Each structure stands twice: as structure tokens, then as C-alpha cells.
Amino acid sequence: MDSQRATWVYAVVPASADRVPGGPAGVADGAVRLVARQELAAVVSSVDRAEVAGALGQEPPDPAWLERAARHHHEVISAFFPGLPTVPFRLGTIYHDDDRVREMLAERAGEFRAALDAVTGRVEWGVRAFPEAPPPEPAGASAGSLAGSLAGAALPGTDYLLRRKAEQSAREQARRAAAAAAQDLDQRLRLLSVAARGHPAHDGETLNMSYLVDNARADEFVRTLRSLDGPSPPLRLHLTGPWPAYSFVGLGELAR
């Protein structure tokens, strides 16, 4: 094996996959292929060691390279999905050569079989919820009435402070309503799921979750989500998926 090359691993699938569907491009335009050992196959492509080390293995990493690699990594993993159970690998898992990948498959065959079983017939759905912004108040509406209750004694500065206070209280109320609604939503979705995992919340999200759902319950899951999105919800909901079960194949799951 060329010492300048290395083997990038995307996923493990059953060896019944005898080809890569759709011919997706690999990371750094590598040709995607399968490395099989007994009933397991690793989805891999060859990469240039120096290129990967230079782009991602040094401070600072190359953001453009990472972004392209992330998209290719995901596209290759998605090529097998949802036709075959797929155990995705984290981005940047690299082996010396194909023989090392075969060794890895052999060493962890039991764990991979269990992981494939755990995701067979199931997909991951992503649900994010954002607090719905309270409707903008007409100028001086509620705060104005508060100020008015002070028998016209309010100075312009006091009026401003009262209005600010009313706005803050409305925001806090909306935040609390959103948090309660998110908790309720999460509980209902967990009832329809095999497992649930949280992601860090970004940009004011109230909820950022992944749910592992049996294909047979997918329609029910999506219907439930939509039914909770009423005419004036405290939450704005955002559904992504179906995804390969990225969030449910961590080491804990592999050991299960």
C-alpha cells in the first residue's frame, strides 16, 4: 500500500451491499468502495495523508476543506440509506490501509452487528423548536395603560421604563411558555421513539433533539409533530430527516 495514502472510513454496512449506490464522490474526490470482511463491509475511500493532515490535522484547520469533507462524508453515508442499515462513522476516521480496516471490522464485529441490528428499520428524525416571538405590541398599548394608571403623573422617562418592563415580562412569559411546550413536545415524541438524544441548542433554540423512530411509526411521528404546530403555538418547529442514525451509534450504543 502506498505510504502516502490512507483509508478514510465513512460507515459500516452489511456485506450484502456489493456496490456503492449512486456513485457519490468521496472526500477529496476519492473513489468510494467497500472493504468487506465476512458479513460486514466498511465504506471507504483513499485519501492523501499529507492533504488530510494539512487540512484538518494542523492548527488552524482549513474551514473550506472541512465543509466540503463534511458534505461528502454525509453524502456517501446517505447513499446506502435508507435501503440498508448504516452505522455512520464520525468525520475524520482514518486508517493506515485497507488491511487495518479489515482488522478493525474483525476486532469489533460483534459491536457492529449489534449496532446494525439497532438501526435496522429505523431512522433518525431531528426536531428543533424555537420560541415564537411575541407579536409586536401596538405603540403604547399595554405599557401605556400601565402608565395611564399612574393618573397621568408618569414622566416620559417613567413611561419608557414601564414599557420596557412590560416588554421584558412578555418576553419572559413567552420563554417560559416555550420551555413548557418543548418539554411536553419532547415527552410526546419520546413515546413514539425507540430512543432520544439531545444536541446542544444554538441560536435561541428551546429544543434540539434527535429521535430514533421505527419506520412503521414514521408517519405517526411526523403527524404528531404537525398536529402540535397549531395556529398560535408558543414554539416554531423545524423537522429534519430522515437521517441515518448518526446520533444513536455512539460507543454506548455499540456496547449495548
**CB under 8 A: which stretch of 13-21, 155-163, 179-187, 248-256 binds other proteins?**
248-256
Does residue number 246 form part of the binding site for other proteins (CB under 8 A)? yes
Q: How many Cβ atoms from other residues are within 10 Å of residue 62's Cβ?
A: 14
Contact region with other proteins (CB under 8 A), list: 140-148, 157-165, 188-196, 199-207: 199-207
The footprint of other proteins on residues 36-95 (CB under 8 A) is: 49, 52-53, 56-61, 63, 66-67, 70-71, 73-74, 78, 81-82, 87-95
Q: Is 134 in contact with 171 (CB distance < 8 Å)?
A: yes
Among 39, 107, 117, 172, binds other proteins (CB under 8 A): 107
Question: What is the nearest approach in angstroms of other proteins to the Cβ of residue 149?
Answer: 28
Q: At what angle do helices 156-191 and 218-227 cross, to 10 degrees?
A: 160
Grid cell of 120 as nine digits: 435496522
- For residue 234, the SS3 value is coil
Nearer to other proteins, 84 or 147 (CB): 84
Longest dimension (CA), the chain: 88
Q: Is the dihedral of CA 182, 187, 190, 196 positive or negative?
A: positive
Q: Does 152 bind other proteins (CB under 8 A)?
A: no
Let me know: does 32 contact 10? Beta carbons within 8 Å: yes
Q: Which stretch binds other proteins (CB under 8 A): 137-145, 146-154, 179-187, 229-237?
A: 229-237
Residue 12, interface with other proteins (CB under 8 A)? yes
Helix ranges (H only) for 138-232 are 142-148, 156-191, 218-227
Question: Cα(128)–Cα(255) distance, rounded to whole angstroms?
Answer: 28
Query: Is 196 one of the binding residues for other proteins (CB under 8 A)?
Result: no
- Sign of torsion over alpha carbons 21, 27, 33, 38: negative
C-alpha to C-alpha distance for 198 and 236, rounded to whole angstroms: 18
Minimum gap (Å) between residue 221 Cβ and other proteins: 9
**Which one, 32 or 147, has the nearer CB to other proteins?**
32
- Cross-strand pairs, 44: 9, 33
Residue closer to other proteins by CB (options 70, 150) is 70
Q: Is 199 among the residues that bind other proteins (CB under 8 A)?
A: yes
Tell me: does residue 23 bind other proteins (CB under 8 A). Answer: no
Q: Smaller CB distance to other proteins: residue 211 or 246?
A: 246
Full DSSP string of 49-72: HHHHHHHHSSSSP-HHHHHHHHHH
Contact with other proteins (CB under 8 A) among 45, 193, 206, 247 = 247
**153 part of the interface to other proteins, by CB under 8 A:** no
Give whichever of 143 and 244 is closer to other proteins, judged by the CB atom: 244
Q: Which stretch binds other proteins (CB under 8 A): 126-134, 138-146, 150-158, 186-194?
A: 126-134
Return the amino acid letter for 225: L
